[in-house]
Structure 1
Amino acid sequence: MSNSKLDRLQFLLDKKKFADSEWDNRGLIPSDSDLCEYMESRFNSCLSSLIILVKSDSSLEILNKELNKGLKSFERFKFDTEEREFICDIFYAISKEIEIDFKNELNIWLYGNFLAYVFRISSFFKVKEKILEILSQNCIKCNSNLETFILARENTILDSDFLIVRCRSCRELNLIDNGPNVRQLRFGEYELVEQLPKSNYDLEGAKIRLKQLQFFRK
Structure 2
Amino acid sequence: MREKEHIITALAGFRRKNKFSYSVFQERGLHPSDDELCSGLQALLNDCSDQLIVAVNSGVDEKKLAKILKSNLSNIDAANYDTEERELICDYFYELSQIVVVDIKSDLNNWLYGVILGTLLKITSILKRSDKALYTLEQSCTGCKIPLKTAILSRNKGIPDHSWHVIRCNNCDEYNLLSVGEGVSEYRFENYQSIEALPKSAYTKDEACVRLEQIRYFRKR
If the TM-score is normalised by the length of the shorter chain, which range does it land in?
0.5 to 0.7
Stretches of structure 2 lacking an aligned partner (at least 5 in a row): 130-221
Q: 1:2 Cα shift?
A: 2.1
Q: Which residue of 2 aligns with 1:96?
A: 98
- Any gaps of 5 or more consecutive residues in structure 1? 128-218
Q: What is aligned with 1:116?
A: 118
Matched to 1:8, the amino acid is A
The two structures have a TM-score, normalised by structure 1, of: 0.57
Aligned-partner SS, 2:19: coil
Q: Which residue of 1 aligns with 2:46?
A: 44
Alignment match, 1:30: 32
Q: Larger RCO: Structure 1 or Structure 2 (Cα < 8 Å, ≥ 6 residues apart)?
A: 2
2:57 aligned partner: 55
Q: Map 1:65-80; keep pairs closer than 5 Å.
A: 65-80=67-82
Contact 1:60 1:100 in 2 (8 A): yes
Q: Would the aligned equivalents of 1:104 and 1:116 in 2 still touch at CA under 8 Å?
A: yes
Is contact 2:55–2:65 with CA below 8 Å preserved after alignment? yes
CA contact under 8 A between 1:42 and 1:73: conserved in structure 2? no
Q: How does 1:81-160 map to 2 (within 5 A)?
A: 81-126=83-128
Partner residue, 1:5: 7
> For the residues of structure 1 that align with 2:48 and 2:78, how far apart are their CA atoms?
16
Aligned partners of 1:62, 1:49: CA distance in 2, in Å? Answer: 11
- Counterpart CA distance in 2 for 1:123 and 1:9 is 29
Give the structure 1 partner of residue 151 of structure 2.
none
Separation in structure 1 between the aligned mates of residue 6 and residue 126 of structure 2, nearest angstrom: 35
Aligned length in residues: 127
Aligned amino acid, residue 77 of structure 1: A
Q: Which amino acid aligns with 1:89?
A: D
Q: Is the 8 A contact 2:4 2:56 kept in 1?
A: no
SS of 1:18's partner is coil
Give the Cα separation in 2 of the matches to 1:60 and 1:73.
Answer: 20
